[in-house]
């Protein structure tokens, strides 16, 4: 009897929150969406509401997002270019100074445009939404100072020499 009442009142488990690395993985399901989509992309103007931080290799940007514990369900504007192994992360406009002298990092601001999928389901291998704004709301922007600090730490010579456990 105790088991029946426990089963009846048990709440359904929410699916596990995917990691940044899982969202960026090129899977068979993602390839299938790319094949079925109409590959509609467009150019988004950078430097007005947000700047885009381009990080190479992509894994460095994903590691930095994970290290800063940026939630994958928050609606951040994060885009992958799998052909170039580059991750694009939206940060507040005019915050490029935080990213100066970080290896593999470039800021796209005023005068730059970025290829983006027209909808979350029409990505391509060169423009794949890893995370996108939800339901017509403005994108949540990654904190530039925190993101830059984690990128610096991940690309520092001390970190590169640290033993892996």
Q: Is the pLDDT of residue 105 over 70?
A: yes
Residues 6+ apart with CB under 8 A from 82: 26, 58, 125, 126, 128
Asked if pLDDT for residue 10 goes beyond 60, the answer is: no
- Residue 43 CA, distance from chain mean position: 18
Maximum CA extent, the chain: 69
Residue 103 has pLDDT above 90, yes or no: yes
* 64-77 mean pLDDT: 92
Evaluate the CA torsion angle 65, 155, 97, 113 in order and state its sign.
negative
Length of the chain as a residue count: 165
Quick: pLDDT tens for 28-62.
988 887 887 777 788 999 999 999 999 999 999 99
At residue 152, the pLDDT reads 95
- Over 70: is that where the pLDDT of 4 sits? no
pLDDT digits 0-9 by tens, 112-155: 999 998 877 778 889 999 998 777 777 789 999 999 999 999 98
**Extents of the domains making up the chain:** 39-157
What pLDDT is attached to residue 29?
86
Give the phi and the psi of residue 154 in degrees, each rounded to 5: -70, -25
Instruction: Give the sheet arrangement for strand 78-81, strand by strand.
Output: 105-108, 50-55, 86-92, 78-81, 128-131
Q: Exposed (0-12), middle (13-18) or buried (19+): which is 148, by Cβ within 10 Å?
A: buried
pLDDT of residue 108: 97
pLDDT band at 165 (very low <50, low <70, confident <90, very high): very low
Phi (first) and psi of residue 40, to 5 degrees = -80, 120
With 0-12 / 13-18 / 19 or more C-beta atoms within 10 angstroms meaning exposed / middle / buried, residue 125 is middle
């Amino acid at each position: 009897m105790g088991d029946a009442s426990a089963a009846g009142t048990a709440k359904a488990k929410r699916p596990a929150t995917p990691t940044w690395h899982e969202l960026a993985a090129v899977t068979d399901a993602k390839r299938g969406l790319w094949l079925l989509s109409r590959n509609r992309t467009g150019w988004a103007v950078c430097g007005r509401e947000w700047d885009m931080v381009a990080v190479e290799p992509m894994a460095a940007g994903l590691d930095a997002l994970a290290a800063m514990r940026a939630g994958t369900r928050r609606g951040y504007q994060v885009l992958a270019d799998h052909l170039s192994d580059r991750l694009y992360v939206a940060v507040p406009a005019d915050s490029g100074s935080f990213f100066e002298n970080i290896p593999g990092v470039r800021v796209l601001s005023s005068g730059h445009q970025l290829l983006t999928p027209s909808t979350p389901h029409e990505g391509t291998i060169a423009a794949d939404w890893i995370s996108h704004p939800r339901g017509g709301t403005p994108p949540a922007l990654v904190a530039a100072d925190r993101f830059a600090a984690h990128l610096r730490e991940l690309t520092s010579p001390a970190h590169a020499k640290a033993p892996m456990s």
